[in-house]
Amino acid sequence: MLGQETLTGRRACLVKEPLQKPLLASNNVVCLGTGEMKKTATPITLALVFLAATSLVAVEIQESKANPYHRIPDYTEIPPPAGTQAPIIIIQTPQNGSFHPKNVTLTFDVIIPKTNDDQSYGISELYYKGNWDPNEIIPIPRNFVGNTSYSIDLSDVRGGNLTITIYCVGVCYVETGSELVDSVWLYTHYDWFEMANYSTVSFTKDLIPPRISVLSPQNTTYTTPDVKLDFTFSEDVSQILYSLDNKGNQTISGNATLTGLLNGEHSVTLFAADLAGNAVSSKTLFFNVNSPEPFPIVPVAVATVISLILLCTGLMVYLKKRNARGAQVQHEK
C-alpha cells in the first residue's frame, strides 16, 4: 500500500459485527458529466442536478471540517492464535434423553473465552437448526460481547423425537496499525480470525397421554373378597394411582390385588402419568362382590370350651354329692 506516513495504532480487540471490506477511494468520488447531458437534459433536470451537486459539496465541506480524513478499515484474516478456544455452548434444558410435554424451553449459555493475549472476542453468528426442518436456519438474537444466557420457547414445535443443534461463531479483530495516504485516506489495519463451535441435544416432546386398558376387574360379580387389579399402558409411565370406592388415591407400581372387599357393589378408578407428565384416568369400573360367609370357627371354639367347662363343673358337683351321700350311709351303719 502506498503511504506517505505511518501511524502505529494501539493493539486492541474490537468486538463488533464483521465489517464489509472498504470500497476503493475512486468509488467514493461523485462525477457529474455535462457532455451528453446537455443534449437531452431539460432546464428542470439541469436545475435538479445543480441542486444535488450543491448539496453534495456542502456535505463534503461540513464533513471535512469535522473529520479531515476518510477512514478506511483494512482487514487481514489470520489463523486463530495457538491455544485460542472456540465459544463454549452449555445446554441447560432440555437434557439428553428427557421427556417433555407441549411447553418446553431451550435454555443455554454461551461462554466466550479469552485469547492468549488476554483479549476477549465477540459473537458474529448464533443460530440453531432442528430435525423437524433440517434446511431451516433459525437465527438467535445475540449479545456481541460477554458470557450470555439464552432462552427459546419451543411450544410451537411439533411433538416426537427432536434434535436441536446450536451453532456459535466467535470473531476477533486486532488493530495492528494505521497509515495516512495522500494526507486524506486514513487506513486502519486489522488482523481478524473466527472460531466456531456447536452443541447438540436430543429429547422427546410427548403431546399424547398414555392409554389405559383395564383387564380386571370387569363389570361382573366376584365370589371372593380378593379381586385382582390388572391393567396395561400404551407407553412407559412415571406414576400409577387408584381410587377404591371414591376414597383417597393409593400409589402402586404395577398390577395389584384388592383384598378384604365386603359383599356389595364397589368401584375403582386408575390414574397414570407418562414420562413427559401427560396425565390420564381410566373410566370408573363397577363390580360386585358376593362371597360365602366364612364358617364361624371362633364362636364354635368358644362354645366348645364353655361346654367342656360346664361339663366338668357338673361332674365335679355330681361327684361331690355322691361322696357326701356315701359318707352319710356309712355313718348310719
Which H/E stretch holds residue 208? Answer: none
Return the pLDDT at 117. Answer: 67
Q: What is the largest CA-CA distance in the chain?
A: 184
Alpha helices (H) in 67-144, listed in sequence order: none
Adjacent-strand bridge partners of 105: 153
Looking at every residue in the chain, the average pLDDT score rounds to 78
Which pLDDT value is given to residue 192?
92
pLDDT per residue over 16-53, tens digit each?
A: 343 333 322 333 222 223 333 333 334 443 343 344 44
> Can you give the pLDDT at residue 100?
93
Contact between residue 157 and residue 132 where contact means Cβ atoms under 8 Å apart: yes
Collapse the DSSP code of 303 into the 3-class scheme (helix H, G, I; strand E, B; otherwise coil) and give the result.
helix
Residues in CB range of 193: below 8 A, 6 or more apart: 77, 78, 79, 80, 81, 84, 171, 172
CA distance 26 to 34: 19
pTM more than 0.75? no
> Both ends of the chain: CA-CA distance in Å?
165
Provide the grid cell at 235: 407407553
Alpha helices, DSSP H, located in the chain? 37-40, 43-66, 297-332
Q: Is the dihedral of CA 92, 94, 96, 97 positive or negative?
A: positive
Q: Is 77 exposed, middle or buried (0-12, 13-18, 19+ CB in 10 A)?
A: exposed
Rounded Cα distance between 143 and 120, Å, is 13
Measured at the alpha carbon of residue 38, what is the angle toward residues 32 and 42, in degrees to the nearest 5? 100
Annotate 195-236 with DSSP letters as a single string: EEEEEEEEEEE--S---EEEEES-SSEESSS-EEEEEEESS-
Each residue's pLDDT expressed in tens, for the chain with a length of 333 residues: 333 222 333 333 433 343 333 322 333 222 223 333 333 334 443 343 344 444 544 444 454 445 677 889 999 999 988 888 899 999 999 999 999 999 999 999 999 887 766 666 789 999 999 999 999 999 999 877 778 999 999 999 999 999 999 999 999 888 899 998 888 889 999 999 999 999 999 999 999 999 999 999 999 999 999 999 999 999 999 999 999 999 999 999 999 999 999 999 999 999 999 999 999 999 999 999 999 976 665 565 666 777 777 777 766 766 676 666 665 555 555
Q: What residue ranges define each of the domains in the chain, with the CATH number in brackets?
A: 88-205 (2.60.40), 212-289 (2.60.40.10)
What pLDDT score was predicted for residue 115?
72
138 contacts: CB under 8 Å, gap ≥ 6 = 127, 128, 129, 130
For residue 67, the model assigns a pLDDT of 60
**CA distance to 12, 177, 235, per residue, from 80 (Å):** 15, 19, 50
Q: What are the C-alpha distances in Å from 289 to residues 152, 248, 292, 296?
A: 55, 21, 10, 20
- The Cα 272–Cα 237 span in angstroms is 7
Given the C-alpha cell 361339663, which residue does it identify? 311
- Looking at residue 66, its pLDDT comes to 52
